[in-house]
């Protein structure tokens, strides 16, 4: 699993990368506030959620070291997201066709 060049159990990431990720996260936060002043209609939520997901991915991949994890951990990380997609996806199939 790990190469034997070092004896740390986990993966050591260069410090600079954390700084780069933080800068990217802050830029994306400003971006999401900035685009919120424009009206894209129904796409407003989509744009906001796409930016939020890019930010979440950056945090997971680099701050949480998911990028360097084994397939089992990836499975643990992705499985609840599949369940959540199923739940919210079904809601969007159901909701518009309801007659209240």
Partner 1 sequence: MNSQTGELAGPPHVHHMDARTAYGAAKLGMWLFLGTEVLLFGGLFAAFAVYRWKYLGEFTHASKHLDWRLGGLNTAVLLVSSFFAAVAVDAAQHNDNKKVVRNLAITIGCGLLFLVIKYIEYSGKYHHGLFPGTAEWNSPEFNESYKCFFGLYFAMTGLHALHVIVGMIVLGWVLSLARKNRFSRKYYTPVEVGALYWHLVDIIWIYLFPLLYLVA
Q: Which residues bind partner 1 (CB under 8 A)?
A: 1-2, 6-10, 12-13, 15, 18-19, 21-22, 25-26, 29, 32-33, 36, 44-45, 48-49, 51-52, 55-56, 59-60, 62-65, 69-70, 72-73, 76-77, 79-81, 83-84, 87-88, 91-92, 95-96, 100
Q: Report d(CA 28, CA 68) in Å as an integer.
A: 23
> Which residue, 74, 37, 32, 35, is CA-closest to 55?
32
Q: CB atoms < 10 A from the CB of 55, how many?
A: 19
Compute the least distance from the CB of residue 20 to partner 1, in Å: 11
Query: What H or E segment, with its residue span, contains residue 43?
Result: helix 43-58
Compute the least distance from the CB of residue 82 to partner 1, in Å: 10
């Amino acid at each position: 699993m790990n190469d034997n060049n070092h004896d740390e159990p986990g993966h050591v990431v260069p410090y600079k990368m954390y700084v780069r990720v933080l800068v990217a996260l802050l830029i994306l936060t400003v971006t999401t506030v900035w685009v919120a002043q424009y009206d894209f209609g129904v796409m407003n939520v989509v744009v906001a959620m796409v930016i939020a997901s890019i930010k979440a991915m950056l945090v997971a991949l680099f701050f949480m070291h998911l990028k360097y994890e084994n397939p089992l951990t990836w499975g643990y990380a992705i499985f609840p997201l599949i369940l959540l997609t199923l739940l919210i996806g079904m809601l969007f199939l159901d909701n518009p066709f309801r007659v209240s």
